Amino acid sequence: MKTNFIFFILILFLISCSTPKENPPNIILIMADDLGYGDISCFGSDFIQTPVLDKLASEGIRFTDYHSNGSVCTPTRAALMTGNYQQRAGLEGVIYAAMGKRIYGLASSEKTLAEYFKEAGYATGIFGKWHLGYKPEFKPTLHGFDEFYGYVSGNVDFISHRDGIGLYDWWHNTDTCYDEGYVTDLITDYALKFMERNKEKPFLLYLPHEAPHYPYQGRNDKADRLPGVKFHAHGSRPDKKQAYKEMVEIMDENIGRVMMKLTELGIDDNTLVIFCSDNGATNLGDNGGLRGYKISLWEGGHRVPAVAWFPGKIKAGTVSNSTVLCMDWLPTLLSVAGVQVEDKFDGVDISAVLFRQKEIEKRTVFWRYRNQWVARKGDWKYLKNKEGEYLFNLKDDVVEQNNLLDSNVEKTNELKELLREWEREMERYKQQTD
């Protein structure tokens, strides 16, 4: 009798695991490029006004301790797409536009966020910046996206769509295509069409914005990168700070268009919207008082703004202090969509943070980029860079001024050992997959 009962419970459990959610939610993942911790008003900016993002934060959740996996573009995107440390995919550095540097990219052996969702019956679209490889086999439509409009470089002229070495870089799926328009507006136009076409089925919409990455150009500026014309990578506008502000505000306005479309299509109550940045700001932006900028592994290089919105599911006005990394989105989104997979990820499911106002278990996380290393466990951060070695307690010292390395040797050694273990694991993985 008892055996029968256990068997019955087991069958019920298996049925509940294998049945997809009846009405799986749409996912919209919006990522800014080089936006700093203090660059939007709900994270403290007085200079830049972002009413749409502020509303999303007030109706949803705001993360105070959210981090990009990389302090530059490509590594963060590799981690976002795979749910793992970018080191596993071998994409620890930037893929540059220079000829001869265009050989790297996201290998087809890597299973991406888009591939998981496509398999689960989602329509998948990416509109904007890819930055995970130039070669045909690296293109997003060969990595699980049904549709791609955008560019594959780190940045393009917002008007002429030419990359850092002046080559035209605008694509529809695997073909180059001519398109007129300011990048931020243009990728939103495509995103809205994608939403319209797929309103009847669940969709994953990835919208990686260019703003506020250089070249610093507003909507009414002229193209700087044109054939046969010498140009400066950062653009020709003298008032770059003002251009930067315009770029973020135009992005905010366009996120507003996405939100209005959700309402118009009547799917706003079944859509999770996530917004984050891919690394910290340069010195033109505002990292909210955090030390360092993009590229560095000081907090200013990777602690970035993030918000999420899902009406009726995420409690309005939630503020989370959990340490979250961008590699956590993949396992989290699979869980939100009710998709069961066997695969293991470095990232963790943060659904409890989103929907139940819980903090996730404190864990140790790592960063490594160009002779800089970080091990972070709870509030403790060990940092090694060219200038030296540091230990900070971020709870009391988020601006990293008070080096506790010598006064807490035990903690320093613990974090250094964890870092060594992590590096060994990354190396082991590399040897297995090479």
Q: Which residues are designated catalytic?
A: 73, 131
| CA dist., res. 309 & res. 162, Å (int) | 34
Nearest CB to Ca ion, comparing residues 240 and 313: 240
Of 363, 309, 371, 345, which Cα lies nearest the Cα of 65? 363
Strand partners, 403: none
Q: Are 129 and 208 in contact (CB under 8 A)?
A: yes
**Element (H or E) spanning 3, and its range?**
helix 2-18
Apex 186 CA angle, 180 and 169, nearest 5:
60
> Where do we find the tokens 């850092």?
164
Query: Which residue in 364, 410, 422, 324 sits closest to 62, CA to CA?
Result: 324
Interacting residues with Ca ion (CB under 5 A): 33-34, 73, 278-279
CB-nearer residue toward Ca ion: 249 or 278: 278
Return the number of the residue (278 or 346) whose C-beta is nearest Ca ion.
278
Q: Smallest distance, Å, CB 94 to Ca ion?
A: 9
Q: Which of 301, 323, 327 shows the shortest CA–CA distance to 87?
A: 327
Please, which residue, 192 or 295, has the CB nearer to Ca ion?
Answer: 295
Task: Please give the residue whose beta carbon sits closest to Ca ion in the complex.
Answer: 73
**Min dist. Cβ of residue 299 to Ca ion (A):** 16
Least distance from Ca ion to the Cβ atom of residue 73, Å: 4
Spatial separation of the C-alpha atoms in residues 18 and 20, rounded to whole Å: 6
Least distance CB 302 / Ca ion (angstroms): 11
Here the tokens at position 212 are: 């506020």
Q: Which residues, other chains included, contact 171 with Cβ-Cβ below 8 Å and sequence gap of 6+? A: 139, 148, 149, 150, 151, 152, 177
Which residues face 63 on adjacent strands?
306, 320
60 versus 288: smaller Cβ distance to Ca ion: 288
- Tokens for 221? 């500026």
Count Cβ neighbours within 10 Å for each residue of 196-234 and write b for 16 or more, e otherwise. eebbeebbbbbbbbbbbbbbbbbbebebbbeeeeebeeb
Nearest distance from C-beta of residue 31 to Ca ion, angstroms: 9
Q: How far is the CB of 36 from Ca ion (least distance, A)?
A: 11
Residue type, 396: D
Q: Which is nearer to Ca ion, 72 or 419 (CB)?
A: 72
Least distance from C-beta 278 to Ca ion, angstroms? 4
Report which DSSP code applies to 180: -
Instruction: For Ca ion, give the closer residue by CB, 282 or 364.
Output: 282
Backbone φ and ψ of 298, nearest 5°: -65, 160
- 25 C-beta neighbours (distance < 10 Å), count: 19
